[in-house]
Amino acid sequence: MATMDDVARVAGVSTTTVSHVLNRTRPVSERTTDRVMAAIEQTGYSQNTIARAMARGRTQSLGLAISGLANPYFSELIAAVEEAASAAQHTLLIADTHDDPEHELEVVRALVERRVDGLLLAPSAGAPSLALPYLAGQSLPVVLLDRFVDSSLDQIGSENVEPTAALVDHLVACGHTRIGFVAGSAELSTTLERLAGYELGLERGGMAFEPALIAHGGSQRAGAAEATRRLIGLAEPPSALISGNNAMTIGVLEALQGLGRRVPDDIALVAFDDFEWADFFSPRLTVIAQPTDELGLRATELLLSRLDDPTLEPRTIRLPATFVHRESCGCRDSS
Amino acid sequence: MATMDDVARVAGVSTTTVSHVLNRTRPVSERTTDRVMAAIEQTGYSQNTIARAMARGRTQSLGLAISGLANPYFSELIAAVEEAASAAQHTLLIADTHDDPEHELEVVRALVERRVDGLLLAPSAGAPSLALPYLAGQSLPVVLLDRFVDSSLDQIGSENVEPTAALVDHLVACGHTRIGFVAGSAELSTTLERLAGYELGLERGGMAFEPALIAHGGSQRAGAAEATRRLIGLAEPPSALISGNNAMTIGVLEALQGLGRRVPDDIALVAFDDFEWADFFSPRLTVIAQPTDELGLRATELLLSRLDDPTLEPRTIRLPATFVHRESCGCRDSS
DNA sequence: CTGTTAGCGCTTTCAG
DNA sequence: CTGAAAGCGCTAACAG
């Protein structure tokens, strides 16, 4: 594979000059430029990012470590981050943490070893004891995504409390009095906040908080199915369910179908997180939609700005999420 | 950030030795090993993949260039490839071609510039005139995924003809006589093959082939919605529809809903490609499911084997796809 | 069992 | 407007 030296030789100039025409980093006469371009063409030269990174001390790449790459929420996030990154001339390296602290540490380490210039991380519940301490020793710009765990770092995510409360408000308005909540992993800040929103909604609706109506679904599909079965198996089962995130929503529906309960005829269901296809399948889910595009864009901007100026004060940003009214709540009003 | 020299200095050995203990690439006394490990700990040393790649002439990474990262079919593929790659100690660099020849060339070039050791590519329709010729000049091991375009390269994908014919067979068995087909981009091999399967099924069912019943949906959701409207608008509209891939299936349903046609009551629908959640939403889609996991695994093995031995003859592999009977076909039989 | 040394392919002073 | 030369941090002969 042709190197810069090959190009220089063919063009009859120094590698310095080749480098400068490639990077437009100092004026080069038109004649020389042409010769170099011709030589590049002729040799089929292709830049070597590795060597360049080595010489410059930065890779012009960003790392993105999240869980469940296939999760539609994260897919949209990836697309947005990728776009923002490449607009700023950065490549994106993506890794899946599997939401497991050990694995997370491993992939974060891999990203560091690849010398990404900055890192976007959706921290797992165990991050504060593994990945984050590791990162603290690496002097690498980091922004935390989705979940809030360390205010000494830049963090960005959605509003959780009020939107979840809005879900409850709506169900209450629909006449429900027993509302079950399929919650995520208890260690995640999002879970805690959505639970707080659930309680807030209950309170606003003048309803008693009943611990038995909360079932932990572990943020994953299987756990949510399990949790749903527990809720439905209650002596006084809920007449409406709230699912804490999109992966769990699939699990809830799976369980409901297994139990022969139809949505919304037999039971109402609303959820946190939207699906791209939610309008075209039934039950048509009433949900809270996160502003994933903006989340990805702003997160990347946050990171890039810190690369620019590492002395910036840590920032925490909350973006609003919106209520999308469809039919799984079983009401006809547009509350 | 600590370098190997720092570690060597602290441990009181040469960098050579540090390198060798890190890579287990030649015996080192236990005592020395311990000193080195301690020094690594103490300095917080983290390997530098960039420098290592530079010195070794390979990056221990593979590139994956596909379109529609969010597409569930590709998401599963990514997961499988990633797993196989990391099992073989390779990092995966993922890029989205957007199924656009120009953009594809750009991302393929970016991957080459990052010096991936090998490349997995789901070629766009225009690949033979841009990305492939470029790659031909790069002496980089490549395997083509999903779509077949160049038998001088390794290629792997699913069976398309017979499975699509099976979809038709089933609809015929359900009593349908006018079956519409929402086809993908006309330049893709998958589209051609699925069309061939459609015709084959028609023929086996003793039905006339009617060009008007084929509408090109451009492989994307929007185009498929459009195509569906054309089909439904026919003087003699079809009583059953076949969608050529998962992105288009969403578009078909979108259009059908807009037209107030219910599946399967007003019209039957079957599709190529399965969805993870297809069992829990209605219409419950009857589909052909591709063996995405195996596709990803085998594709990666193909690539790794070629890295091992570049002289191998090019191989073309077809994997079977399976019929999954649910309810959108509107029949109760389990044909 | 360990160290010396010569690069890998590029960027970037410093000098003309 | 152009070049020489010194690295960037690591690996891998080669030598002991």
Statement: the CB of A170 is under 7 Å from strand C: no
Q: What percent of chain B has pLDDT over 70?
A: 99
Strand, coil or helix: B103: helix
Nucleotides of D under 7 A from a protein CB: 1-5, 7-13
The owner of tokens 């979809």 is: B167
B48 with A113: Cβ contact below 8 A:
yes
The amino acid present at A71, given as its one-letter code, is N
Helix (H) or strand (E) holding B22: helix B15-23
What is d(CA A66, CA A77) in angstroms, rounded to the nearest whole number? 10
The pLDDT tens digits for B86-113 are: 999 999 999 999 999 999 999 999 999 9
Report, as an integer, the average pLDDT of B220-235: 97
| Residue B237 pLDDT greater than 80, yes or no | yes
Residue A7, pLDDT score: 96
Q: For A90-126, give the DSSP string.
A: -EEEEEE-TT-HHHHHHHHHHHHHTT-SEEEE---TT
H helices, E strands: number in chain B: 12, 12
Phi then psi for residue B77, to 5 deg, are -60, -45
The partner residues of A271 in beta bridges, in order of sequence, read A243, A287
Mean pLDDT of B234-239: 97
Which among A44, A50, A112 has CB closest to B53? A50
Neighbours of B236 (CB within 10 A): 9
Asked if residue B230 lies in contact with residue B241, where contact means CB atoms within 8 angstroms, the answer is no
Contact call for A281 and B279, based on CB within 8 A:
no
Distance from residue A121's CA to nucleotide C2's C1', rounded to whole Å: 42
Selecting from A44, A75, A114 the residue whose C-beta is nearest the C-beta of B70 gives A75
Is the C-beta of residue A9 closer than 7 Å to nucleic acid chain C?
A: no
Q: Which residues pair with A309 in a beta bridge?
A: none
Query: What angle is formed at CA B78 by the lines to CA B76 and CA B79, rounded to 5 degrees?
Result: 65
Q: Where are the alpha helices (DSSP H) in B124-220?
A: 131-136, 161-173, 189-204
Helix (H, G, I), strand (E, B) or coil at B106: helix
Q: Spell out which residues of chain A touch residue B83, defining contact as CB-CB under 8 Å.
A: none
Beta bridge partners of A63: A93, A119
Interface of B with A (CB under 8 A): 1, 44, 46-51, 53-54, 59, 69-70, 72, 75-76, 78-79, 82, 91, 93-94, 96, 109-110, 112-115, 137-139, 250, 253-254, 257, 276-277, 279-283
pLDDT at B335 over 50: no
The residues near B310 (Cβ < 8 Å, ≥ 6 apart) are: B141
Cα–Cα distance measured from residue A69 to residue A94, given in angstroms and rounded to the nearest whole number: 9
Ramachandran angles phi, psi of B139, nearest 5°: 50, 45
Residue B219 DSSP code: T
Is residue B49 within 8 Å of residue B249, measured between CB atoms?
no
Long-range contacts of B77-81 (CB under 8 A, 24+ apart): B77/B145, B77/B292, B77/B295, B77/B296, B78/A69, B78/A70, B78/B296, B79/A69, B79/A70, B79/A96, B79/B293, B79/B296, B80/B292, B80/B293, B80/B294, B80/B295, B80/B296, B80/B297, B80/B300, B81/B120, B81/B296, B81/B297, B81/B299, B81/B300
Distance CA B127, CA B137 (A): 14
Search chain A and give the residue with CA nearest B139.
A1
Q: Is the pLDDT of residue B333 over 60?
A: no
Closest chain A residue to B59, measured at CA: A50
Q: How far apart are CA A136 and CA A108, in angstroms?
A: 12
Comparing CB atoms, the residue among A54, A114, A250 nearest residue B280 is: A250
pLDDT of residue A253: 98
Position A331 scores a pLDDT of: 87
Of A163-167, B73-77, B180-184, B327-331, which range is least confident?
A: B73-77
CB-closest option in A46, A69, A280 to B253: A280
Residue nearest to nucleotide C6 (CA to C1'): B55
CB B67, CB B96: distance < 8 Å: yes
Pick among A22, A77, A280, A282 to test the B interface (most B CBs inside 10 A): A280
Q: What is the mean pLDDT of residues B306-333?
A: 93
| Residue A333 confidence (pLDDT) | 55
CA nearest to B48 within chain A: A113
Q: Report whether the peptide linkage leading into residue B264 is cis, meaning its omega lies within 30 degrees of zero.
A: yes
Distance B21 CA to D15 C1' (A): 20
C1'-nearest nucleotide to the CA of A28: D1
- Residues A113/B53, Cβ–Cβ less than 8 Å: no
Q: What is the DSSP string of B166-182?
A: HHHHHHHHTT---EEEE
Instruction: Name the residue with tokens 């269901």.
Output: A269
User: What integer pLDDT is reported at residue B209 of this predicted model?
Assistant: 95
pLDDT tens digits, B247-281? 999 999 999 999 999 999 999 999 999 999 999 99
B58 CB-to-strand C distance under 7 Å: no
Residues in chain A within 8 Å Cβ distance of B276: 70, 250
Q: Measured from the CB, is B50 under 7 Å from any atom of strand C?
A: no
Q: Are A156 and A148 in contact (CB under 8 A)?
A: no
Q: Is the pTM of this model over 0.85?
A: yes
Residue B46 phi/psi, 5-degree rounding, is: -130, 130
Which residues in chain B, range 44-73, keep a C-beta under 7 Å from any nucleic strand D atom?
Answer: 45, 47-48, 51-52, 54-56
Contact A49 B113 (CB under 8 A): yes
Contacts 24+ apart (CB under 8 A), A19-25: A22/A47
CB–CB of A59 and B48 under 8 A?
no
| Number of C-beta neighbours around residue B16 at 10 A | 12
Nearest to B50 among A53, A137, A277 (CB): A53
How far A204 CA lies from chain B's nearest CA (Å)?
Answer: 32
HSE of B294 in the Cβ direction (CA atoms, 13 Å)?
11
Closest chain A CA to residue B114: A49
- Amino acid type, B96: D
Asked if residue B9 keeps its beta carbon closer than 7 A to nucleic acid strand D, the reply is no
Closest chain B C-alpha to A259 CA, distance in angstroms = 12
- Which residue, counting CA atoms, is nearest to the C1' of nucleotide D7? A55
**In the A/B pair of chains, how many CB contacts fall below 8 A?**
100
**In Å, what is the separation between the CA of B55 and the C1' of C6?**
11
The answer for residues whose C-beta is within 8 angstroms of residue B79's C-beta and 6 or more apart is A69, A70, A96, B293, B296
By the 8 A CB rule, do A73 and A246 touch? yes
Residue B62: both structure tokens together: 């593979």
Question: What is the per-residue pLDDT for B1?
Answer: 87
Mention every residue, 6+ apart, whose C-beta is less than 8 A from residue A42: A10
Integer Cα distance of A151 and A161 in angstroms? 18
Q: What is the mean pLDDT of residues B72-98?
A: 92
Residues (pLDDT < 50) of chain A are 334-335
Give the Cβ contact number of residue B152 at 10 Å.
Answer: 9
